[in-house]
Amino acid sequence: MSRADALFLQNCRDILDHGVWDTDQAVRPRWEDGTPAHTVKKFGIVNRYDLREEFPILTLRRTYWKTAVDELLWIWQKKSNNIRDLRGHIWDEWADADGSIGKAYGYQLGIKHQYPEGEMDQVDRVLYDLKHNPASRRILTSLYNHQDLHEMNLYPCAWSMTFNVSGNVLNAILNQRSQDMLAANNWNVVQYAVLVHMLAQVSGLIPGELVHVIADAHIYDRHVPIIEKMLTQTPSPAPVFRMDPSVTDFYAFTRDSFSLEGYTPAPFEDKIPIAI
């Protein structure tokens, strides 16, 4: 069983057995047929993944990790908010006729800000500080720009990263305000684990801990039977993560720079409905 499996089992069991339902409340998300998409939730889950120990991917079902990496590169490297720059179709429902998801995600990371050292966007600021000010306690990004929220088709869920260098180890906190446990929990963990690996390699550091802080960790009503079934699956050990060691420029990574050795997830045939 991977560490990611153990935490997923523990989190989902806790949500299903002790969580709070919002069935009696007015909720925003809808199923495809227009029915309100209710959830059961726990508030304030904190999961720690040590990237020195293993790569945090689920084996209880397949995580489409290459598609997740594509989305990560779309946001952090291309700094795009247009689904035409993205291979997968996971954002299609939130895009307008031109393919834009509004001033969200990559758009926010691409905005240049004035700093004492000159103009930089948030990603370049992180790269600069990891290289020149590793002892800094101010290395963080934020996508939650209140001024632009009214122009985002969906508000950022995984909205902030805090980076911290301890010795030669790069640790990070991923702050997430809202988490769809079935569709995107491991998807988000895999993405930000890969990001920590990438930033560590180009900064001459060793990837350490990824601490995932989730405010509202929920399971949608129509996902409950799927999760119950998943929790009875037989897990496997975590695969080995490999990254092209010759890449020293953050912007030179491609989806082909990453591979997993020995990823054998349990079979999973269900189609996951996504609440819009």
Ligand X SMILES: O=c1ccn([C@H]2C[C@H](O)[C@@H](COP(=O)(O)O)O2)c(=O)[nH]1
Ligand Y SMILES: Nc1nc(=O)c2c([nH]1)NC[C@@H]1CN(c3ccc(C(=O)N[C@@H](CCC(=O)O)C(=O)O)cc3)CN21
Q: Would you name the residues annotated as active-site residues? A: 157
Helices and strands (H, E) in the chain, number of each type: 6, 10
Stretch that binds ligand X, among 87-95, 135-143, 180-188, 242-250 (CB under 6 A): 180-188
Helices (H), the chain: 3-18, 65-76, 106-110, 122-132, 181-203, 224-230
**Number of alpha carbons in the 13 Å side-chain half-sphere of residue 63:** 28
Binding mask 17-36 for ligand X (x = CB under 6 A): -----------xx-------
Stretch that binds ligand Y, among 11-19, 41-49, 90-98, 131-139 (CB under 6 A): 90-98
Interface with ligand Y includes 266 (CB under 6 A)?
no
Q: What is the DSSP letter of 203?
A: H
With CB under 5 to 8 Å by kind, the binding choice for 90 among ligand Y, ligand X, none is ligand Y
**Strands of 92-152, DSSP E:** 113-115, 118-120, 140-142
Pick the closest to residue 217 from 266, 172, 158 (CA basis). Answer: 158
Structural contact between residues 216 and 178, judged by C-beta atoms closer than 8 angstroms: yes
Q: Which residues are annotated as a binding site?
A: 137-138, 177-180, 188, 218-220, 275
Residues 16-35 that bind ligand Y (CB under 6 A): 29
Q: Which of 169, 183, 213, 224 binds ligand Y (CB under 6 A)?
A: 183
Of 178 and 201, the one with the shorter C-beta distance to ligand X is 178
Of 199 and 274, the one with the shorter C-beta distance to ligand Y is 274
Interface with ligand Y includes 154 (CB under 6 A)?
yes
> Whole-angstrom Cα distance, residue 243 to residue 232?
32
Residues that bind ligand X (CB under 6 A): 28-29, 154-155, 157-158, 178-180, 184, 188
